[in-house]
Amino acid sequence: MNRRPRSGNPFSSPVLIGALTVLVMVVAVVLAFQANNGLPFVPRYTLHVRVSDAQELTHGAEIHMGGTLIGSVAGVHAARTSGGRPIAVIDAELNRSVGPLPVDSRFTIRMKGAIGQKYLDVTLGHARRTWPNGATVPLSQTSALVDLSQVLNMYTPPTQRGVAATTNGFAQALAGRGGDLNAALGALVPLVNALTPVMHNLAAPRTGLVGFIRGLGSLSAALAPVARTQAQLFINLDGTFRALAGVAQPYLASWIEQTPATLGQTITDSPAIGRFALSAARLLHNLAPGFATLPASAPVLAAAFSAGARNLPGTARLDQQAVSLSRALAAFTADGTVQSGIGRLTLTASSLISPLEFLAPVQARCNYMTLFLRNLASALSDNVGTGTVLRTLLVFIDNDVAGGEGGPASVPYTGYGPLGPGGSSGRENEHAPLHVDLYPNTGSPGQVAECSAGKEPYSPNTAQLGNPSANVGLGTQTTTVSGG
């Protein structure tokens, strides 16, 4: 029996070839199933993206950047923030070539198609700092778009039926009007051309459209909690307008017709009104200190008014007499002679203004009148042994000395007389030199502000005529009711 000689080529065995074929097919199937999750043994750039809601994003979902597939979702699991709020964490495995991503990159969950499949979209940032491999992306860098299903789910069944009926009505209205629609679209071309620069201005950063939209969003968020209150407001406004509709003719129409004339008159009178408002503001400003005292004075005033309410009824007769007196005074003042007398009194008072202004400081500043009357009373009452001061004053005046105070002299008396200092009579110092101030300063208009009378310096050898050379001040002796 002749045996076939053994071949040295291992691939000549059908069993081996079949086994290798099955192995290759198994590997191909495994790779096909793993293609969405990345090929095995290939390095990946992994990030853990924290989102408020995974929006039905599942394991194996695609990750795109600029429309290009750059990785897949390795898994989605639940987590909590430091405050305890539940969130979702997406384990994103990206191609090594796209990393590391800048820290200001944005991650957004979007719909891939109308069937509801989701994917994770990456918007590349511009920061110099990047996310290292295995880093966790915070919630502030993630967001999700509103799905069409979420929009439709917010409508109640009656609303959905209404939308369907409206859509059907629009379809029937547009049916057979293609030519008209084409003409309308053609007419929109000039509008679009004119709209282009407007859109450029709106898109410019200095326009601040983004801030305006964000402000509208903030306003809407602030109004959301009071939506029911606003709805009730519109219901109340509807009732108000229904009530106004009943008086629209002729009252509202007449008011609207008269409004332009009223506004014109207001514009004409505004200068006078402005002055009145300014005067009123000044009055209120001046009254402010009085208003500040009202908390303390109001109880006192209330007590006074209460006392007046109790006591005034008993004064009715006195009030009637006061009225009669007022009427008599009115008739009296209407008499021509009385009016002439009042005119003369007014003229007299006007003439006395200047003298009184000059004489007022005599008493108000220097107390001269009171001091004069007090000294005069003392001169008439003080006993000096031989009588009062005024009764013995003339005895002391020596008229036999030439130049003495008792008679006229050509020069001020110096105290020596005709004998001179060398006389033998010894009378050269019996008389002091003259001291007189006929017009003392009182601080009146045109005078020095001082009270000089009674405060002139005294010298036994030098005469003093008129006001002192140095200011002696405004102070004078203080008097009391008892004369002290």
Provide the angle, in degrees to the nearest 10, between the axes of the packed helices 389-396 and 368-381.
90
Sign, CA torsion 233/236/240/241: positive
Provide the angle, in degrees to the nearest 10, between the axes of the packed helices 368-381 and 336-364.
80
Sign, CA torsion 426/430/435/436: negative
* pLDDT number for residue 34: 55
Residues 218, 22: Cα–Cα separation, whole Å = 63
For the chain, what's the residue count?
484
Q: What DSSP line would sit under 380-429, residue for residue?
A: HH-B-SSSBHHHHHHHH---SSTT-TTS--SS---S-TTT-TT-SSS-TT
Q: At 391, which amino acid appears?
A: R
Read off the pTM.
Answer: 0.31
Bond prior to 250 in cis (omega within 30° of 0): yes
Beta strands in 68-117 (DSSP E): 68-80, 86-95, 106-111
* pLDDT number for residue 417: 46
* pLDDT number for residue 398: 54
Residues 90, 62: Cα–Cα separation, whole Å = 12
Give the number of other Cβ atoms within 10 Å of residue 441's Cβ: 21
Pairing state between β 44-51 and 86-95: antiparallel
Residues 319, 311: Cα–Cα separation, whole Å = 12
* pLDDT number for residue 415: 59
Alpha carbons within 13 A on the beta-carbon side of 166: 6
pLDDT (tens, 9 = 90+) of the chain, 484 residues, equals 455 555 556 556 666 666 667 666 766 655 555 555 555 555 788 889 988 888 778 888 888 988 888 888 888 888 888 888 898 999 989 888 887 889 899 998 888 765 567 888 898 889 899 989 888 888 888 887 766 666 667 777 888 788 888 888 888 877 777 788 888 888 888 888 888 888 888 888 888 888 888 888 888 888 888 888 888 888 888 888 888 887 877 778 888 888 888 888 888 888 888 888 888 999 998 988 888 888 888 888 888 888 888 887 878 788 788 888 888 888 888 888 888 888 888 888 888 888 888 887 887 778 888 888 888 777 767 666 666 666 555 444 555 555 555 566 666 666 554 444 444 444 444 566 777 777 888 878 888 888 878 777 877 777 778 888 888 888 787 777 764 4
Give the number of other Cβ atoms within 10 Å of residue 388's Cβ: 14
Sign, CA torsion 329/334/335/341: positive
* pLDDT number for residue 140: 86
Place of tokens 């394991």: 59
* pLDDT number for residue 454: 78
Domain spans in the chain, listed from the N-terminal domain onward? 43-153, 237-284
**Dihedral, 452, 453, 456, 460 alpha carbons, nearest 10:** 170
Q: Which of 315, 69, 52 is nearest to 60 (CA)?
A: 69
* pLDDT number for residue 424: 42
Q: Which of 295, 442, 296, 416 is nearest to 363 (CA)?
A: 442
Residues 46, 35: Cα–Cα separation, whole Å = 17
The kind and range of the H/E element at 343 are helix 336-364
Q: Which two tokens stand for residue 367?
A: 């107390």
Q: Which two tokens stand for residue 186?
A: 């053609």
Q: How many helices (H) and strands (E) does the chain have?
A: 12, 10
